[in-house]
Structure 1
């Protein structure tokens, strides 16, 4: 009986969609993955989008808005993820500026996105919605506030990598170029295995 269940579960795991690869194939042409909030604010509020010349909101902008405005941000995360997936599905297939969650000052710089109807599957949309939930925006002014969970810092910026249950995996002080930071991310992922 155990072999039969393993045989059933294994193919489901093999064919699960990776949100990051769907994003790279279907979304990255317009939606950049991550740009720091301070740089985004300067781009839109001070430079009229002439600093970054963005075509669409970044995924970290969307993730922040989705987590704040869809479902209950303090409620069950799985239910909120289902609500976010439903919103992303609806918006991607029938985009409408009236449904946008972005600030009007930001949306003023963008055209309404084209519909992805017939260009992306329901499963792909669900996978993309899931990557928005992987962003956890935290901003702490260490000169005014204590860090949560007993964390401490020696340099700014300091990056903390935590498990979903709050266990500290890795602390990395200082600023890094993109290639080095990607290596640090891969090492942090490896520490979770």
Structure 2
């Protein structure tokens, strides 16, 4: 009976934390996202600040994952992970103080990049104590939740009816990625085979996600974007590697095994 009770308490506690994480995410989107962007890959962030002097992204405030890193994992991190209750209190106190009196001199973010941030910070977040508690839990669990939800996902987009080439190019430039167009068809046996035996593999997905936005185009329903029809010979599958200016770099007709497909990705990565 005692074990059952403890299990019920444990399940309740996990559910409670999950609910608070979701509430914290909602609060961040509603009240913080006007200044702080969504997730940006850390490789891109480092290159932006330390190689390009913020000329690529032109960030004026840290992204959500930069905030989570600063709070939980940076040299200036708040509290200790082996005492989560006390850590949550410290994070709440920091958030409350900083949001009431925003000052870049008191930031816990990387000192070498705060020179690029807005010097005049907003102070009208209007967050309750409960909001701040939920935000603290959001940041405490951000990394774990992101890994859990995105470890094997790839940025696979299916061509919509209202597809906008310029919007996709803008997204690719922002993420500093290239575009991989996958010409396929519902009736294509080799497409289904490649989907199952290559594109569904976690390591292949991760390699795609690292450097590409993958756009799937069913040629039975849609026309190929970026004026690719003139380079297409009707074979499915065919892969087109496009740079983020919309120019064709390479074309690969046919089905590929894992080893050869990884070489294709490497050949067209940055």
Q: Same-fold call, TM > 0.5? A: yes
User: Aligned match of 1:100 in 107, 119, 126?
Assistant: 107
Distance 1:179 1:27, change over 3 A: farther
Q: Which residue of 2 aligns with 1:116?
A: 124
Cα shift at 1:159? 2.4
The alpha-carbon distance between structure 1 residues 179 and 115, as it changes in their structure 2 partners (threshold 3 A), is: farther
- The structure whose Rg is larger is 2
**TM-score, normalising length from structure 1?**
0.60
In proportion to residue count, which structure has more strand?
2
Distance in structure 2 (CA, Å) of the matches to 1:63 and 1:26: 16
Superposed displacement of residue 33, structure 1:
2.4
Deviating beyond 3 angstroms after TM superposition, the runs of 4 or more aligned structure 1 residues are: 175-180
Quick one: distance in 1 between partners of 2:96 and 2:113? 22
* Distance in structure 2 (CA, Å) of the matches to 1:82 and 1:179: 44
The TM-score with structure 2 as length reference comes to 0.44
User: Would you say the 8 A contact 1:89–1:126 is kept in 2?
Assistant: no
* Residue of 33, 40, 45 corresponding to 2:38: 33
**Cα gap change, 1:85/1:172 in structure 2, threshold over 3 Å: closer, same or farther?**
farther
1:42 corresponding residue in structure 2: 47
Matched, 1:133 2:140: yes
Structure 1 residue runs without a partner (length 5+): 1-12, 138-157, 162-170, 181-193
Report the Cα distance in structure 1 between the residues aligned to 2:50 and 2:67, rounded to whole angstroms: 17
Q: 1:25 to 1:172 in 2, by over 3 A?
A: same
Equivalent pair of 1:85/1:130 in contact (CA under 8 Å): no
For 2:202 and 2:96, locate their aligned partners in 1 and report how far apart those are by CA, in whole Å. Answer: 36
1:70 to 64, 78, 83: 78
RMSD: 3.1
Which segments of 5 or more consecutive residues in structure 2 lack a partner in the other structure? 1-15, 145-149, 154-200, 217-270
Residues 99-135 of structure 1: CA deviation (Å, up to 9, x unaligned): 1011122100012422136x22222222222211122
